[in-house]
Amino acid sequence: MFKKYLLSLLLSVGLLSPALAEEINPIVVMTTSAGVIELELMPEQAPLTVANFLRYVENDFFSGTIFHRVIDNFMIQGGGFSVDMERKDTLPPVRNESTNGLPNLRGTIAMARTNAPDSATSQFFINLKNNDFLNAKGPRPGYAVFGKVVNGLDVLTQIGHVQTGRQGPYKDVPVEPIIIQSVVLK
């Protein structure tokens, strides 16, 4: 909130050019039971996806959700289930922006979706390694990257190594829940 206010103030008194202000990407701080992860979002490359994610942030949607799918040396997925593995109600899906030029590299955050390309809502994943096969290729849509970890890669690695198992119909669920306590704009 302070960052937005400061940017508005600096723009209004002419101390900051609009072009420079556009270069400042939003940072969100994701506090989890395993530690803190800071993510820089990329609205220039993924405007619809970033706007969608920030709506969930502004509504405090992610607080109390979990990383419900963890596959070491692949990715960690969260943003859609409570600790009791109950799916949360979401906003309508966002259009897939996987052709934005941002590849699924280690430490990037992307939208999780079903087989339908434009089905992403609140769930996201953070890549634990370079996952080129998740990128768009020719006419085949990929998984839309919309930001990257700027602090907390060690937390990602730690989460990637947790013990997982089955819970109901779901597999790769951490035995000890990894809770997303909050996600806020820095």
pLDDT in tens, the chain (186 residues): 544 544 444 445 454 444 554 568 999 999 999 999 999 999 999 999 999 999 999 999 999 999 999 999 999 999 999 999 999 999 999 999 999 999 999 999 999 999 999 999 999 999 999 999 999 999 999 999 999 999 999 999 999 999 999 999 999 999 999 999 999 999
Q: Which CATH superfamily is domain 25-185 in?
A: Cyclophilin-like (2.40.100.10)
Task: Give me 88's structure tokens.
Answer: 């949360």
H helices of the chain, in order, are 2-12, 18-23, 47-58, 153-160
Total-model pTM = 0.88
Is-contact 134 104, C-beta < 8 A?
yes
d(CA 39, CA 74): 18
Is-contact 53 124, C-beta < 8 A?
yes
DSSP secondary structure string, 78-107? EEEEETT-PBPP-PPPB---TTSS----TT
- Domain boundary assignment for the chain: 25-185
Other beta carbons within 10 angstroms of residue 133's beta carbon come to 9
Residue with tokens 């809502």: 121
